[in-house]
C-alpha cells in the first residue's frame, strides 16, 4: 500500500466515479483502475462497487475510509513540518469551534504568534463534531471546544465558562418575550435551563445553530438573543448593543484540548495555556 493508492481511493470516494477521479488526479482511467485493484489486493477486500451510475463504497471501503483520510492528512502534515524553513522550529495545528474564535481562540493565536514567532500555525474553524474529528485524526493538535469528552491520548484544561447573556440592539427589545427575540443554540444544559427560565414564553420564530450567525442577524435586522458575552463586549462598549439587566445569565463550559504527543514538542504550551486559562 502506498499514498498514491490511498489518494486515488479518496478521490474516487469524493468524486463518485473512476472517470472523474482520473480527471481530478490528472492521470488515465487505467491508472486509477490499477491503483484501486492494487489497494484492494493488499487489503484483501473489495472497496468500491462499480456501476454505470457511479462508484459507491462497500462495507470494507467505509471502514478503510476513516483511516485513509487520516493517513493522507498526517502525511501532509509530516511534509509540512519536514519542509519548514530553518528559522521555524515547529508547527501548531489549531482547531476551534466557530463561536470560540472571537475573543478566545483568536487571542490564543495572537499570543502564540507574537511570543513564539518561530512556530508555524495553521487554523481550522468548524463545528463541535468537526473539531473532535480533527483532534482524533491528528489533523489538529490543539483545540478550543465546548466538548468535555476526551480520549486517553488527549489532555484537557477547563477554561472560564462562557457567560451566555441576553443582549439586544434596541432598548425597546424586551428580550425573551419580544417579537424580535432569536434563539441561539448554546448546548444541552443551556437548552434545558433556558426552557425552565422562560416556561410561559412563546417559541421564537427564528433560531440559529451558532452565536456567530445569530449576531450577524441581530446586527442586520435588530432584535435580541442569548450569546457569549465575550463575543459582544466591543458592541456593548460602543453602545451598538446592550445587555438586558433583568434577564438571567447562563454558563457554558469551555475547554482547551490537546493531543499529548504534540504537547511534548511545544516549549510554549505551559505559558500560553496558562495565559488563556486565567484571562
- Give me the mean pLDDT over the 44-57 stretch: 89
Q: Which residues, in sequence order, are bridge partners of residue 92?
A: 121
Q: Which residues contact 112 (CB under 8 A, 6 or more apart)?
A: 92, 119, 121, 268, 272
| Residues 224-243: tens digit of each pLDDT | 999 999 999 999 999 889 99
Q: What is the pLDDT of residue 84?
A: 61
Q: Which architecture does CATH list for 88-157+254-268?
A: 3-Layer(aba) Sandwich (3.40)
Q: Is the pLDDT of residue 271 over 90?
A: no
Q: What is the pLDDT of residue 159?
A: 93
Domain ranges for the chain, please list them.
Answer: 3-81, 88-157+254-268, 162-253
Q: What is the pTM of this model?
A: 0.72
Q: What is the mean pLDDT of the chain?
A: 86
- Give me the mean pLDDT over the 75-103 stretch: 78
Q: Which residues contact 8 (CB under 8 A, 6 or more apart)?
A: 21, 25, 32, 35, 36, 39
Instruction: Tell which wins on pLDDT, 147 or 83.
Output: 147
Q: What is the pLDDT of residue 213?
A: 96
Longest dimension (CA), the chain: 69
Reduced to 3 states, what is the DSSP secondary structure of residue 68?
helix
What is the band of 65 on the pLDDT scale with cuts at 50, 70, 90? confident
- Copy the grid coordinates of residue 200: 410561559
Task: Look at domain 162-253 and name its CATH class.
Answer: alpha beta
Of 88-97, 114-123, 137-146, 264-273, the poorest mean pLDDT is in 264-273
Q: What is the pLDDT of residue 149?
A: 72
Q: Which residues, in sequence order, are bridge partners of residue 251?
A: 163
Q: What is the pLDDT of residue 250?
A: 97
Spatial CA neighbour of 126 closest among 150, 101, 109? 101
Query: Do 162-253 and 88-157+254-268 fall under one CATH topology?
Result: yes
Q: How far apart are CA 165 and CA 251, in angstroms?
A: 9
Per-residue DSSP letters for 130-145? HHHHHHHHTS-SEEEE
Spatial CA neighbour of 183 closest among 201, 163, 162? 201
Q: How far apart are CA 202 and CA 174, in angstroms?
A: 13
- 149 alpha carbon, distance to own chain's centre: 15
- Copy the grid coordinates of residue 204: 421564537
Q: What DSSP element (H or E) covers 157? A: strand 154-168
Check if CATH label 3.40.630.30 holds for domain 3-81: no
- Copy the grid coordinates of residue 17: 466515479
CA angle at residue 18 from 30 to 49, to 5 degrees? 110
DSSP annotation of 155 reads E
Q: Is the pLDDT of residue 116 over 80?
A: yes
- Phi, psi (5° rounding) for residue 182? -120, 130
Q: Is the pLDDT of residue 277 over 80?
A: no
Q: Is the pLDDT of residue 263 over 70?
A: yes
Instruction: Tell which wins on pLDDT, 251 or 75.
Output: 251
Q: What is the pLDDT of residue 164?
A: 97
| Residues 136-189: tens digit of each pLDDT | 777 888 999 999 877 787 889 999 999 999 999 987 655 555 678 999 999 999
Amino acid at each position: 500500500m502506498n499514498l498514491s493508492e490511498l489518494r486515488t481511493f479518496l478521490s474516487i470516494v469524493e468524486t463518485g466515479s473512476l472517470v472523474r477521479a482520473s480527471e481530478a488526479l490528472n492521470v488515465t482511467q487505467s491508472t486509477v483502475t490499477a491503483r484501486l485493484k492494487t489497494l484492494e489486493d493488499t487489503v484483501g477486500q473489495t472497496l468500491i462497487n462499480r456501476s454505470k451510475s457511479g462508484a459507491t463504497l462497500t462495507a470494507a471501503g467505509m471502514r478503510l475510509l476513516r483511516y485513509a483520510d487520516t493517513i493522507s492528512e498526517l502525511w501532509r502534515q509530516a511534509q509540512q513540518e519536514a519542509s519548514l524553513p530553518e528559522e521555524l522550529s515547529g508547527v501548531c495545528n489549531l482547531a476551534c469551534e466557530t463561536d470560540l474564535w472571537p475573543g478566545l481562540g483568536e487571542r490564543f493565536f495572537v499570543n502564540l504568534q507574537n511570543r513564539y514567532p518561530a512556530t508555524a500555525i495553521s487554523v481550522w474553524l468548524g463545528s463541535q463534531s468537526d473539531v473532535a474529528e480533527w483532534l482524533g485524526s491528528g489533523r489538529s493538535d490543539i483545540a478550543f471546544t465546548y466538548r468535555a469528552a476526551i480520549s486517553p491520548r488527549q489532555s484537557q484544561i477547563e477554561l472560564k465558562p462562557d457567560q451566555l447573556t441576553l443582549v439586544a440592539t434596541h432598548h425597546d427589545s424586551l428580550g425573551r418575550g419580544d417579537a424580535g427575540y432569536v434563539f441561539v443554540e448554546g448546548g444541552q444544559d443551556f437548552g434545558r435551563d433556558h426552557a425552565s427560565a422562560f416556561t410561559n414564553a412563546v417559541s421564537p420564530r427564528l433560531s440559529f445553530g451558532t452565536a456567530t450567525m445569530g449576531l450577524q442577524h441581530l446586527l442586520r435586522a435588530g432584535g435580541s438573543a442569548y450569546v457569549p458575552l465575550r463575543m459582544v463586549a466591543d458592541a456593548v462598549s460602543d453602545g451598538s448593543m446592550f445587555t438586558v439587566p433583568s434577564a438571567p445569565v447562563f454558563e457554558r463550559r469551555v475547554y482547551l484540548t490537546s493531543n499529548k504527543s504534540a504537547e511534548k514538542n511545544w516549549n510554549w504550551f505551559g505559558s500560553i495555556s496558562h495565559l488563556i486559562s486565567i484571562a
